[in-house]
Amino acid sequence: MRDIIVKIIDIDQKEMIAASKRGRARSAETQQLINVIKNLGRKSAKAVIIESGVTAAKIRLRLTYAAKLAGKRLKIAVRDDRVMFAIAPRKRRQ
């Protein structure tokens, strides 16, 4: 069995902070959804209009992904040509 040799070097902390984050890069559309979700009030709602070539399921998936990144839970509903969303009510313990 052959030993694996790893070369470890010291780096500056600033270099580590400036390095790209793990995971995939966010599209402009995803970043826009994250910003809208973060700024969404408890008593307000928004809707995404379904355009040709995009399904309601795909929009719903993008919304749940953006909500996860924003640290929020959403209530999502589909009606006609739009996907509506609002901040989900908090679950209370009984």
In angstroms, the CA 42 to CA 26 distance is 25
Partner residues linked to 49 by β-bridges: 82
At 60 the pLDDT is: 95
Rounded-to-10 torsion of CA 79, 49, 44, 93: 60
Asked if pLDDT for residue 26 goes beyond 60, the answer is yes
Q: Are strands 45-49 and 74-79 parallel, antiparallel or unpaired?
A: unpaired
In angstroms, the CA 85 to CA 36 distance is 11
Task: Give 45 or 18, the one with higher predicted confidence.
Answer: 45
At 1 the pLDDT is: 57
